[in-house]
Amino acid sequence: MPSLFQQIQAGALWDFHGGVHPPTRKAVTSEKPIISMSLPERLYIPLRQHIGVAGQLLVEVGERVLKGQALTAADNSMTVPVHAPTSGMIIAITDHTSPHPSALPESVIVIEPDGLEEWREREPLNFATADTQTLLERIQDSGIAGMGGAGFPTHIKAGLHQPVDYLIINAVECEPYITADDALMQEAPTTIVKGIDILCKLLNPKAVLIGIEADKPIAAAGMRAACSQREHYYVREVPVKYPSGGEKQLIQLLTNKEVPAGRRPADIGIVMQNIGTAFAIAQAVLDDHPLISRIVTVTGETLQRPQNVQALIGTPVAALLDFCGYQVELEQKVIMGGPMMGFTLPDLAVPVVKTTNCILAPSHTELPNAGPELDCIRCSACADACPATLLPQQLLWYSKAKDHDKLKEYNLADCIECGACAYVCPSEIPLVQYYRIAKAEIREQQREALKAEQAKARFEARNARLEAEKQARLAKNQQLAAARQQSQQQNAGSNTVAAALERIKAKQQNATETAQRSHADIVAEREVKKQQARAYQAQQAAATHTDAESGAQSQSASQNLDATATDPRQAAVAAAIARAKARQQQHTTEPAQTAQSRASAPAVTDSQATQNHADKAPSQDDPRKAAVAAALARAKARKQQQGAEAEQNHAIENNAATAASREATADKAPSHDDPRKAAVAAALARAKARKQQQGAEAEQNSALDNNGEAAASSEAAADKAPSHDDPRKAAVAAALARAKARKQQQGAEAEQNSALDNNGEAAASSEAAADEAPSQDDPRKAAVAAALARAKARKQQAAADTRSASEHDENAQAELAKTKGDSA
């Protein structure tokens, strides 16, 4: 069985599913030559005339351009530029009605031709010596896009890197009325073949298949003649059937291959180009002639001269119709494209673009309007006529329901919008219009989904970038932390060694200093102990000589009183000072003696027998004799003090009597508020109080003298007692005697204080009587208040003395009980 290539070489043809046979109506223009049209008044060049995006604008309003000059620049692969079709002035860049079924406005450049047809400088290429990249750049810069279909950029198809088995040149004008490619093949087959040669150099296919319908014998003969010198260039005449000029249908006719749904012909090793595109490639490479014009079939019964016209890109359709003798009818419609796939123009100002191949102006009888849309009768004629083997009835239902998912499921994208289904529909349903609307909606939905995906991708990329930066920061921080910890450990190790060395040195120094200071410390400790012993001995000696010092002070005080007896006031002051000193010494000496007696009681009791024998000998350090002598000295001192105080009081009484006589004399004088009387009365009150106090002190002193003599006699009797008596009993007896003496002294002081209180009350009463006098500023009140304050102070002192005496008695009793316990 021969291979596919052998079958193609043998001229085998195949068929495709469906298709229709409408009347061709091509004879009117196919036999006429191509005519060049005169320059119109305005040219409207759209910035985008292909599938893709518009190029970057290079000109501005008011600029003069030359023929073939680029008006836009290709800044990406899906962009092809546009050029100036003639020389002239740019008068506007504005929006204009687009050559599209929607008739939406789009940006155009308006050029006013100057009629000079002045070309820009051109640089032809020798394609035999030029490299592939240079050829592709020339094709793109010349603005060449597919001229038979949707206008796909030609340089992308010609620049495929995958292997290509067959290059198919589509010269099948299957739609009625259109003869532009037929006329081009009749007039320029050699140029077309040169363009095919350039494509073969770029694609390097195994074979070139040129498909032409069987009703174009002249064009087929011309192409065979032009290809006669090329190997593997095959011209094939295909049956007249619509839509045999479709890309997938022609591939199936010539190669028996089907393009899978959603795939491209390049995926199965096939590339297809239009015959007009091959002609434009030859002009661009060989003559540096950009795509600025094309052949347009202008036909219809309303035209007086239907023919194929070489029209400049941007020529308004109205100018083209006028050139062919257009006669307007009522409700006239003008179609851009053929009657099967074309669309009615909303405005005759729409310009000719690179994909415009026909302008049809039929009459009412030639192409009547479609009748009203009826309900589908489910005849399945549309499914039988569909060349893409689709189900037009289901697609219609889902298009009306806007069920895009179902439309995708039923492969709406594979519809080539040939119109065969609408042509055979008995209900005259405009199926293609529904499909176009549904496709537009799906494209918009896909565009929005793409934008959302791009936004999501940008968001995820941003999050990934932020996370990567975060991880990088964390890693960097961890590295820095590890380095810092390592350095700290190193420093710590060195610091540890240094610290250990310093400790060793310190220990050595301490040991040296300790060795040096050991002898000095021992000497110092000895000296401290000696000082403590000396201090203790001095304390004992001070306690022994306290009584002697008190006697001496009492004697000195009595001498001072004798010396100052001549002056009563000085005597009173001296007596007060002496009494204060004596009381202070008494309060200081008695606690010390008590503590000493407590501390030394055991020692005294233990050494009592020895002291009894020592008393018989003349010794100065006998404690009992010292105690008796101290008691006698205190009694004598008190007796002398009482005598001095008696003399002082006598002098004060004399002074008070004198003052009283003066006050009595002054009272006789007529004076209502005499301050001197108050002073005299206060002095008398003070004198009486002092006299009572002296009497009480005299009684106390006599009692002390009696106590002292009794203590002395008791001590003497104790001394005379035999030495074998218990010394602890003697110490206890002495302590009891001293306690009784102090108790009697405290009783005397209490009586003295009560007398002072009585004197204070008497003074207060006298001062109150003085207050009854009508005087607002009586100084006697102040004197009475002072006397009361002094009386209260003395009363408080007596109470304190009483408490101390009671405490002393309790201590003595405790000692006695202890002594009895020891003796028992």
Written as six digits, the tokens of 87 are: 């020389």
Distance CA 433, CA 98 (A): 18
Res 257: pLDDT:
93
Q: Which of 31-35, 369-373, 395-399, 511-515 has the lowest mean pLDDT?
A: 511-515
Kindly state the DSSP code that residue 18 receives in the 8-state scheme. Answer: -
Domain ranges of the chain: 13-360, 535-823
Res 248: pLDDT:
92
Res 370: pLDDT:
83
Query: Region 597-616: what's the mean pLDDT?
Result: 39
Angle at 415 between CA 412 and CA 417, to 5 degrees: 130
Q: Which of 55-59, 545-549, 558-562, 610-614 has the lowest mean pLDDT?
A: 610-614
Query: Region 579-600: what's the mean pLDDT?
Result: 55
Partnered with residue 294 across adjacent β-strands are: 311
Query: Region 293-319: what's the mean pLDDT?
Result: 95
Angle at 817 between CA 816 and CA 819, to 5 degrees: 65
Query: Region 596-612: what's the mean pLDDT?
Result: 39
Length of the chain: 824
Res 220: pLDDT:
94
Query: Region 576-580: what's the mean pLDDT?
Result: 71
- pLDDT grade for 750, boundaries at 50, 70 and 90: low
| Burial of 580 from C-beta contacts in 10 A (0-12 / 13-18 / 19+) | exposed
How confident is the model over 256-300, as pLDDT tens digits?
A: 999 988 889 999 999 999 999 999 999 999 999 999 999 999 999
Query: Region 72-82: what's the mean pLDDT?
Result: 90
629: pLDDT strictly greater than 80? no
Res 511: pLDDT:
77
Query: Region 166-193: what's the mean pLDDT?
Result: 94
Res 680: pLDDT:
62
Cβ-contact 358, 24 below 8 angstroms: no
- Nearby residues of 247 by Cβ (< 8 Å), 6 or more positions away: 149, 170, 259, 265, 272, 416
Using DSSP's 3-state secondary structure scheme, residue 296 falls into: strand
- pLDDT grade for 563, boundaries at 50, 70 and 90: very low
Q: Which of 27-31, 421-425, 640-644 has the lowest mean pLDDT?
A: 640-644
188: pLDDT strictly greater than 60? yes
| φ, ψ for residue 423, nearest 5 deg | -65, -35
- pLDDT grade for 636, boundaries at 50, 70 and 90: confident
Partnered with residue 458 across adjacent β-strands are: none
How confident is the model over 351-372, as pLDDT tens digits?
A: 999 999 999 999 988 988 888 9
Token pair 């203590």 is at which residue?
711
Written as six digits, the tokens of 140 are: 């793109």
pLDDT top residue among 519 and 133: 133
598: pLDDT strictly greater than 70? no
Res 512: pLDDT:
76
Res 751: pLDDT:
58
How confident is the model over 92-139, as pLDDT tens digits?
A: 999 999 888 878 899 999 999 999 999 999 999 998 899 999 999 999
> Dihedral sign, CA of 773, 779, 780, 786?
positive
Task: Tell me whether the omega of the peptide bond preceding residue 774 falls within 30 degrees of 0, making it cis.
Answer: no
Q: What is the CATH number of domain 13-360?
A: 3.40.50.11540
| Burial of 430 from C-beta contacts in 10 A (0-12 / 13-18 / 19+) | middle
12: pLDDT strictly greater than 70? yes
Q: Which of 380-384, 584-588, 589-593 has the lowest mean pLDDT?
A: 589-593
Res 645: pLDDT:
62
656: pLDDT strictly greater than 50? no
Q: Which of 455-469, 500-514, 604-618, 733-747 has the lowest mean pLDDT?
A: 604-618
Distance CA 793, CA 753 (A): 10
Percentage of the residues of the chain whose pLDDT score is greater than 90:
46
23: pLDDT strictly greater than 80? yes
pLDDT top residue among 734 and 453: 453
pLDDT top residue among 500 and 799: 500
- pLDDT grade for 727, boundaries at 50, 70 and 90: low
Partnered with residue 270 across adjacent β-strands are: 166
Closest CA to 93 of 51, 50, 63: 63
Cβ-contact 44, 94 below 8 angstroms: no
Query: Region 675-679: what's the mean pLDDT?
Result: 61
Distance CA 83, CA 292 (A): 6
- CA distances to 317, 505, 542 from 652, in Å: 158, 84, 39
Query: Region 557-579: what's the mean pLDDT?
Result: 55
- pLDDT grade for 601, boundaries at 50, 70 and 90: very low
- pLDDT grade for 309, boundaries at 50, 70 and 90: very high
pLDDT top residue among 360 and 697: 360
- pLDDT grade for 623, boundaries at 50, 70 and 90: low
317: pLDDT strictly greater than 60? yes
Closest CA to 386 of 16, 19, 14, 15: 19
697: pLDDT strictly greater than 60? no
Res 648: pLDDT:
59
What's the whole-model pTM score?
Answer: 0.58
221: pLDDT strictly greater than 90? yes
How confident is the model over 398-410, as pLDDT tens digits?
A: 999 999 999 999 9
Max avg pLDDT among 516-520, 580-584, 626-630: 580-584
> Dihedral sign, CA of 84, 89, 91, 97?
negative
- pLDDT grade for 770, boundaries at 50, 70 and 90: very low
- pLDDT grade for 178, boundaries at 50, 70 and 90: very high
338-344: Cβ within 8 A, 24+ apart: 338/175, 338/176, 338/177, 338/178, 339/22, 339/175, 339/176, 339/177, 339/367, 340/22, 340/175, 340/176, 340/242, 340/243, 340/418, 340/419, 340/420, 340/423, 341/175, 341/417, 341/418, 341/419, 343/100, 343/101
How confident is the model over 459-504, as pLDDT tens digits?
A: 999 999 999 999 999 999 999 998 888 888 777 666 777 777 888 8
Mean pLDDT, the chain, rounded, equals: 78
Cα-only R_g, the chain: 74
Q: Which of 58-72, 155-169, 544-558, 741-755 has the lowest mean pLDDT?
A: 544-558
Query: Region 229-248: what's the mean pLDDT?
Result: 92
Res 167: pLDDT:
95
- pLDDT grade for 576, boundaries at 50, 70 and 90: low
Q: Which of 266-280, 375-389, 440-454, 588-602 has the lowest mean pLDDT?
A: 588-602
pLDDT top residue among 752 and 175: 175
